[in-house]
Structure 1
Amino acid sequence: MSSSLPTPHLMDDEGNQTQGESAASVTHGGLRRKGRLRSIVWEHFEKKKINGIDKAVCNYCKNALVARSSDGTKHLHDHLKTCQVKKEIEATEFPPAKKAAGEKGKTAVETHFDPDVTRRKMARAIVMHEYPLSIVEHQGLRDVMSSLNQLWKPVSRNTIKKEILDMYECERAKYISVLEQTQGRIAITTDMWTAENQTKAYMAITAHFIDDAWALRSILLSFLEVPGSHTGQVLCDKLMGSLLELNIERKLSSITVDNAATNDRMIDFMLLALDKNDLILGGQKLHVRCCAHILNLIVKDGLSVIGDLIANIRESVIFWSGSTKRKSTFDENARKLGITSGRKLVQDCPTRWNSTYLMICSALHYKNVFCRLKN
């Protein structure tokens, strides 16, 4: 959303006032030309307004630093010199090609190949795009990599697995350091679910806090398998173990969970395990109930009035989306009725009311097609 902002003045590295930023305009020789952020430091920062205050957001670590017109840019230069994320990115980049003098109009290019860098980049790509580990053993990929550089040596899935685990340990060490340096309180959210294809239960624990630059941070602390029965004591032991491992049990502000009765018992055990002197109001505000889950329960209760109708719609959507042949028949009948919007049938997730709403909307769009296929 755009808004009209006052035109501040920028300061150079020495604190001297320079031309206005991009929103300003300068008159020169009877002509007006737009001013701009002149310091080279702005190639590494994005200027934003956060809570009404001008901030410079680092393109690498996403920390937000003050960027008022009176502050200059020296502190931004200093941040770039110490930004660990920037250093790591630069360390993994291939060194720039060097040009050697040759005949006039021609240059010889000196290249450098680092197999460790290539392996790390491949591991990062697998994590980012959720590729299977076996992709590094696919002959097609190996042919491509070999054609790019004959010095490249194929790696096995076990090698790339170890590289990914090393990356995880490195990232984990970083956020542990961040949490240790955090002076404020840390809010915890946690949830449990069961994977359908494995029938295994998992717990995710996430920390939310405001860092020294007044930027909201969220970090996934743990992703744990929870075997056996999921009693309040078991969940408490898992959560407490993660907090103790990271040494943040004395910095808690709240724990947000859904309305399951097991979570109520977990909070009771947490209050016994924690020192109430370290908690806000002695732990009276430790338990926070997830408003999204409460809203979902309210809407689901209302939808139960038309539960049979929703069940019929769900069965119809599942049937006509169940095979390529049925999809083709459904699309053909939609075309005959002049419904050619390209909108697809949506199957809902019964535990999420918003997906049920989307399913009903898509079914209403094809209401006449369902009636036609009924006969």
Structure 2
Amino acid sequence: MSLKHEEDDDCSISKPIEHGLSTPPTVSGSTNMRLPSHKKRKNRSEAWNHFIQLEPKSDKRAQCKYCDILIRYEKGTTSMRNHVLRCPNNPNKEVNKRQKVSASSTTDGNINSLSYGRFDQELCQEELLKMFVEAELPFRFVEHVAFRRYLNALQPRFKIPSRHTLSQNIVTLWNARKVHLKNFLSQHCQRVCLTTDTWTSPQNQSYMCLTAHFIDNDWNLYKKILNFRQVISHTGEAIAKFVESCLHEWGLSRVLTLTVDYATSNDTRIQHLKQRLLSWNNLVLKGEYIHMRSCAHILSLIVSSGLKEINKYVLRIRAAVKYIRSSPSRFMKFKECVGKQNIEHKGHICLDVETRWDSTYLMLDAAFKHKKAFDEFGFHDTEYANELGKGIGLPSYEDWGYVESILPFLSIFYEATLRISGTSYVTSNMYMLEVFGIWNGINHLLKSNGTSSATYKMAEKMKKNM
């Protein structure tokens, strides 16, 4: 939980001190030199982030924001800082104890000495594990000479683990976090909505991920990945048994929905799992609405079907982008062409993944903004026209004109996919609004007089698949 610090207004505004003298004081030895007007200095101590200065200020008392106790600060804020470290209501009490650092400064502002608090081997060990997990670093990196030299310079007393010890400690940390999450689910999760997906890696190995979305007792939305495992089979029965074992492992039985891709093979999986959940007698309305289809995947199928109708226009632009991005020297030459054409777009052209329509949209959008650079590039690279001419040819003015006409239409799908693919907010309430917006966009394209035959076929096929 983040803690917001508030500063008292009187502490943050400096006011001149009134001396009560008829004439300003002078410096000895100079009757013309006057002392500069003095101003109250800001309360610079970090202790004021945890205290509220009370009125009247002459009383020299401050109130703790966590326990409301009153502390006097006549001789400084030391007593206030000490109270923050031991205050029972301070949410950051343990962190402050471990990370307490005091510095003494010279007259010119440079720090000449540092005194650190108690060294905590366990805390450093845990933070090291988190770093390797969050940064996805290889375990062998902990044994690198440069990394060990750096840690020794920071804290010579820290015992650097080996890569085998590191891997074992990460598993231990995972088990501890799993127990903590399991207890949290048992206390705060009444109904859980599951999302599952399977795919095959380039090494021809199948994996499956199971994600849980739920609302706790305080109405906060949570998303937790429960399992990420390798699966042997993609059959409906095998996937259903996998989900069932995960639910048993986490102690979850009250399932509200299960969201999967819009594929016929998933119907069999849902039926197997539904029968099992019915035996637990924990389904709502006997599981009539347990099967939820991913709306983002449905939109992807609709757009992909429409893009097949304009594939000939996309192929030439994709080939041109692929040629330029296949060599660092070609890409550098292309950026020089971008500079010559004074193209202000900061992004670069990117190659798409043919099975992902959103990447195709981003490729077309970036390429269209650099279309003048493509023409300029043809004058500086003779192989560009020769190599592409042997195949499907260079992007033509017709291709660029067609891309310009469909980009606003495809952006409707792209922005809708971004909005309904969020994980940190509820998206079901936006689904129908996005569907209506896409439906109106397709109808507008079909009724437009300037719509080309290829664009009309694309929109017609999208409307049929909706």
After TM superposition, the score normalised by the length of structure 2 is 0.57
The answer to whether the Cα contact below 8 Å between 1:189 and 1:205 also exists between their aligned partners in 2 is yes
SS at match of 2:194: strand
Deviation sequence 1:131-171 (CA, Å, 0-9, x none) = 22122111111111111222223321111111211111111
Gaps of 5+ in 1: 1-20, 23-39, 44-79, 100-105
AA of the residue aligned to 1:342 = K
Other-structure match for 1:334: 338
The answer to whether the Cα contact below 8 Å between 2:198 and 2:207 also exists between their aligned partners in 1 is yes
The answer to whether the Cα contact below 8 Å between 1:190 and 1:204 also exists between their aligned partners in 2 is yes
Q: Distance in 2 between matches of 1:240 and 1:342?
A: 49
Q: Distance in 2 between matches of 1:110 and 1:118?
A: 14
* TM superposition shift of 1:262: 2.0
Distance 1:161 1:142, change over 3 A: same
AA of the residue aligned to 2:264 = A
Deviation sequence 1:278-327 (CA, Å, 0-9, x none) = 21111111100111100111111111111122233223222211221111
Other-structure match for 1:67: none
* TM superposition shift of 1:268: 1.1
AA of the residue aligned to 2:285 = L
The answer to whether the Cα contact below 8 Å between 2:98 and 2:117 also exists between their aligned partners in 1 is no
AA of the residue aligned to 1:217 = Y
Distance 1:332 1:172, change over 3 A: same
Deviation sequence 1:94-121 (CA, Å, 0-9, x none) = 353589xxxxxx9994642232222211
* TM superposition shift of 1:341: 3.5
The answer to whether the Cα contact below 8 Å between 1:192 and 1:202 also exists between their aligned partners in 2 is yes
Structure with more of its chain in strand, by fraction: 1
Question: Are residues 1:211 and 2:247 paired?
Answer: no
The answer to whether the Cα contact below 8 Å between 2:345 and 2:369 also exists between their aligned partners in 1 is no
Other-structure match for 1:308: 312
AA of the residue aligned to 2:335 = D
* TM superposition shift of 1:181: 1.5
Q: Distance in 2 between matches of 1:292 and 1:108?
A: 54
Distance 1:92 1:321, change over 3 A: farther
The answer to whether the Cα contact below 8 Å between 1:175 and 1:219 also exists between their aligned partners in 2 is no
The answer to whether the Cα contact below 8 Å between 2:189 and 2:214 also exists between their aligned partners in 1 is no
SS at match of 1:309: helix
Question: Equivalent residues in 2 for 1:133-212 (5 A)?
Answer: 133-182=139-188, 184-196=190-202, 198-212=203-217
The answer to whether the Cα contact below 8 Å between 1:207 and 1:221 also exists between their aligned partners in 2 is yes
Other-structure match for 1:255: 258
Structure 1 runs, 4 residues or longer, greater than 6 Å off = 80-83
Q: Distance in 1 between matches of 2:372 and 2:114?
A: 69
The answer to whether the Cα contact below 8 Å between 2:100 and 2:116 also exists between their aligned partners in 1 is no
Structure with more of its chain in helix, by fraction: 2
SS at match of 1:234: helix
State the aligned residue count: 290
* TM superposition shift of 1:82: 9.5
AA of the residue aligned to 1:186 = V
Other-structure match for 2:328: 324
After TM superposition, the score normalised by the length of structure 1 is 0.70
Distance 1:110 1:345, change over 3 A: closer
Q: Distance in 2 between matches of 1:151 and 1:328?
A: 48
Question: Equivalent residues in 2 for 1:70-81 (5 A)?
Answer: none
Match of 2:226 among 218, 221, 232: 221
Deviation sequence 1:164-205 (CA, Å, 0-9, x none) = 111111111111112111352111011112222x32221111
AA of the residue aligned to 1:234 = A
Question: Are residues 1:265 and 2:264 paired?
Answer: no
Deviation sequence 1:63-101 (CA, Å, 0-9, x none) = xxxxxxxxxxxxxxxxx9799xx68x93797353589xx
The answer to whether the Cα contact below 8 Å between 1:191 and 1:203 also exists between their aligned partners in 2 is yes
Question: Are residues 1:240 and 2:240 paired?
Answer: no
Question: Are residues 1:274 and 2:277 paired?
Answer: yes
The answer to whether the Cα contact below 8 Å between 2:192 and 2:212 also exists between their aligned partners in 1 is yes
Other-structure match for 1:364: 368
AA of the residue aligned to 1:152 = F
Report which of the two structures shows the higher radius of gyration computed on alpha carbons.
2
Distance 1:108 1:178, change over 3 A: closer
Distance 1:270 1:97, change over 3 A: same
Distance 1:116 1:211, change over 3 A: same
AA of the residue aligned to 2:220 = A
* TM superposition shift of 1:340: 5.1
Gaps of 5+ in 2: 1-7, 10-46, 51-86, 104-111, 379-383, 386-466
Match of 1:127 among 125, 133, 153: 133
AA of the residue aligned to 1:267 = I
Q: Distance in 2 between matches of 1:337 and 1:146?
A: 52
* TM superposition shift of 1:370: 2.5
- RMSD of aligned C-alpha atoms? 3.0
AA of the residue aligned to 1:367 = K
SS at match of 1:341: coil
Other-structure match for 2:40: none
Other-structure match for 1:294: 298
The answer to whether the Cα contact below 8 Å between 2:236 and 2:272 also exists between their aligned partners in 1 is yes
SS at match of 2:359: helix
SS at match of 1:155: coil
AA of the residue aligned to 1:148 = L
